[in-house]
């Protein structure tokens, strides 16, 4: 057991954010340790983490207990729990603090259970009681409506997690002195029950939330991750960014980078649409500078309505899909009209050209020209020319766009445009069927959206390779022979009884690989 009063901190160092959180926790550990003339100690598990250990010293750690092992390179909750608990048994610290990161929240209760000690989650205040000498804490309860005072019993360590952004970190100070103690431990691979196959960092937001002109924020009222998806979609439709309250972040519906409020970001958009948020003071602290606030809440008495410029009393999970559909309808109507105007007069000038509008819609959806090209079955160069208004695309491009933007085009196209698209479909169909011998299974359905054929491709020597793409879907069932079907750059081999179903906007070509006839049933859906 240690003679000194020791406050230990779990060194969560996976990425920058968690790194800062550990520094915030470390500042508290140092403050508490200094009160008892004790030690602030960071427990650092990892592989080749010397630089991080030095950073902890420069931020106030008296000591870093470092266990260096390749098996500790990735976080493994079982292994970390047992390794840290062993260290605690050996050294007997008085307090053990963890940042309330994803991993900290996973690790802390497991450790507390194993050590049979008390754990207080999401502390916003930590003190050593002047009379009893024990640790006391404040922690929000019942959705933040009350703050509970917590005191620990005798059994140590007194464990607590701390939410991100509650405390400040102690600045980096090269003159701080501390020791890095290398701890040798046998790491038992058998304890690793979950293997990390690969890991990657979530991409950072392109435009910081603080600088966004439009923010759509969601709270607990969005119900679940599917409900929160409407928030994301609306933000995308409006070319805005996604924001969230603490419960939405805690539920992992979105990342911590999107948290608004006292412990998150302060935003100043021209338009904020805030959905399923009650208007707690810790949240509204971050939206004071929003120019126009639209609030959607099903409770007419929700506090958020007191600060909103426009209030919508509605179930956000019904209101948002309806709003999104209406915006899509409006946007597509606009591009259809611009398309027609551009066809009548080549140059209509101003900001409102078909190409510029397409570019804006694409950028709002955060798509590259390459991505829009593959979604519409065109080349990136073609999209580039469309956006620069140097080419007038065929009317079928509108149809492809509608699919790419998930809009039902049928209400927007004129009779003439539908005829033009129909003619294109016939043309493509004619070109295609010239290369095969086929028998239609849906007689009289040439104009219909769904058609089925029995197709025969002669043995390979005599077969001419042709490549197609057309809006819609295609389903192929191989009855006999061996078929090679190439979708984009990937080839698939199908044997009798095997099937493939694909988006026919991907370039595709069929080839008979064997010396016998290849017989297929092909079902085409063209919108």
Ligand X SMILES: Cc1cc2nc3c(=O)[nH]c(=O)nc-3n(C[C@H](O)[C@H](O)[C@H](O)COP(=O)(O)OP(=O)(O)OC[C@H]3O[C@@H](n4cnc5c(N)ncnc54)[C@H](O)[C@@H]3O)c2cc1C
Residue 59's nearest CA partner among 160, 142, 141, 173 is 173
Which residue, 228 or 412, is less far from ligand X as judged by CB?
228
Nearer to ligand X, 265 or 460 (CB): 265
Residue 191 vs 262, nearer CB to ligand X: 262
Cβ 126 to ligand X, closest distance in Å? 13
Name the minimum Å distance from CB 137 to ligand X.
12
Rg (CA), the chain: 31
Distance CA 103, CA 310 (A): 39
CB nearer ligand X, residue 209 or residue 280: 280
Q: How far is the CB of 149 from ligand X (least distance, A)?
A: 13
Question: What are 310's strand-pairing partners?
Answer: 294
Q: Which is nearer to ligand X, 59 or 246 (CB)?
A: 246
Closest distance of CB 327 from ligand X, Å? 19
Closest C-alpha to 242, from 223, 262, 264: 264
| Least Cβ distance, residue 297 to ligand X (angstroms) | 4
CB of 29 to ligand X, least distance (A): 19
d(CA 264, CA 254): 13
Give 70 or 143: the residue with its C-beta nearer to ligand X. Answer: 143
Contact call for residues 307 and 288 (beta carbons, < 8 A): no
Q: What is the DSSP letter of 126?
A: E
**Residue closer to ligand X (CB basis): 157 or 247:** 247
Chain residues binding ligand X by CB under 6 A are: 124, 140, 143-144, 166, 219-221, 245-247, 259, 261-264, 276-278, 280, 282-283, 296-299, 302, 315-317
CB of 143 to ligand X, least distance (A): 5
DSSP tag of 300: T
Give the residue from 453, 433, 455 showing the smallest Cα distance to 519: 455
Report long-range pairs for 119-124 (Cβ below 8 Å, ≥24 apart): 119/159, 119/160, 119/161, 120/150, 120/152, 120/159, 120/160, 120/161, 121/160, 121/161, 122/161, 122/162, 122/163, 123/150, 123/160, 123/161, 123/162, 123/163, 123/166, 124/163, 124/166
Distance of CA 298 to the CA centre of its chain: 26
What span, in angstroms and rounded, lies between the C-alpha atoms of 466 and 512? 12
Tell me which residue of 398, 393, 389 sits closest to 347, measured CA to CA.
389
How do the residues of the chain divide into helix, strand and coil, expressed in percent and rounded to 5? 35, 25, 40
Q: How far is the CB of 75 from ligand X (least distance, A)?
A: 25
**CB-wise, 54 or 232, nearer to ligand X?**
232
């Amino acid at each position: 057991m240690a003679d000194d009063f020791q406050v230990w901190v779990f060194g969560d160092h996976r990425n920058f954010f968690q790194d800062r959180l550990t520094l915030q926790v470390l500042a508290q550990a140092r403050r508490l340790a200094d009160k008892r003339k004790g030690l602030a100690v960071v427990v650092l598990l990892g592989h080749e983490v010397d630089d991080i250990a030095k950073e902890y010293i420069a931020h106030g750690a008296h000591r870093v207990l470092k266990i260096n092992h390749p098996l500790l390179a990735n976080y493994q909750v079982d292994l970390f729990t047992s390794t840290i608990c062993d260290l605690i048994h050996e050294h007997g610290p008085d307090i053990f603090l963890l940042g309330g990161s994803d991993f900290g929240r996973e690790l802390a209760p497991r450790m507390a259970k194993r050590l049979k000690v008390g754990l207080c989650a999401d502390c916003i205040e930590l003190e050593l009681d002047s009379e009893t000498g024990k640790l006391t804490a404040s922690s929000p309860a019942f959705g933040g409506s009350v703050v509970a005072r917590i005191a620990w019993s005798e059994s140590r360590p007194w464990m607590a997690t701390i939410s991100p952004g509650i405390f400040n970190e102690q600045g980096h100070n090269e003159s701080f002195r501390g020791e890095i103690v290398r701890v040798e431990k046998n790491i038992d691979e058998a304890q690793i029950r979950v293997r990390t196959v690969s890991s990657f960092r979530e991409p950072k937001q392109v435009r910081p939330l603080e600088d966004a002109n439009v923010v759509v924020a969601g709270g607990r009222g969005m119900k679940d991750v599917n409900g929160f998806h409407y928030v994301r979609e609306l933000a995308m439709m409006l070319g805005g960014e996604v924001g969230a309250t603490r419960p939405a972040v805690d539920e992992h519906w979105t990342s911590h980078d999107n948290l608004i409020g006292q412990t998150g970001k302060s935003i100043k958009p021209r338009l904020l649409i805030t959905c399923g948020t009650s208007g707690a003071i810790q949240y509204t602290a971050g939206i004071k500078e929003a120019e126009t606030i639209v609030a959607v809440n099903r409770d007419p008495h929700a506090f958020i309505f007191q600060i909103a410029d426009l209030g919508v009393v509605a179930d956000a999970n019904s209101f948002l899909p309806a709003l999104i559909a209406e915006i899509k309808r409006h946007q597509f109507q606009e591009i259809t009209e611009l398309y027609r105007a551009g066809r009548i007069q080549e140059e209509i000038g101003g900001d409102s050209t078909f190409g510029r509008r397409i570019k804006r819609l694409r950028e709002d959806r955060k798509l590259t020209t390459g991505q829009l090209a593959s979604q519409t079955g065109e080349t990136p160069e073609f999209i580039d020319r469309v956006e620069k208004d140097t080419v007038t695309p065929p009317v079928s491009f509108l149809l492809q766009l509608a699919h790419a933007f998930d809009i039902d085009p049928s209400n927007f196209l004129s009779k003439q445009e539908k005829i033009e698209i129909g003619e294109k479909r016939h043309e493509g169909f004619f070109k295609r069927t010239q290369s095969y011998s086929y028998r239609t299974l849906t007689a009289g359905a040439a104009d219909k959206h769904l058609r089925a054929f029995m197709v025969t491709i002669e043995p390979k020597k005599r077969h001419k390779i042709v490549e197609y793409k057309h809006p819609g879907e295609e389903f192929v069932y191989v009855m006999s022979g061996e078929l090679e079907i190439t979708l984009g750059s990937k080839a698939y081999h199908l044997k009798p009884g095997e099937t493939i179903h694909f988006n026919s906007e991907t370039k595709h070509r069929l080839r008979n690989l064997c010396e016998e006839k290849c017989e297929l049933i092909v079902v085409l859906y063209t919108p």
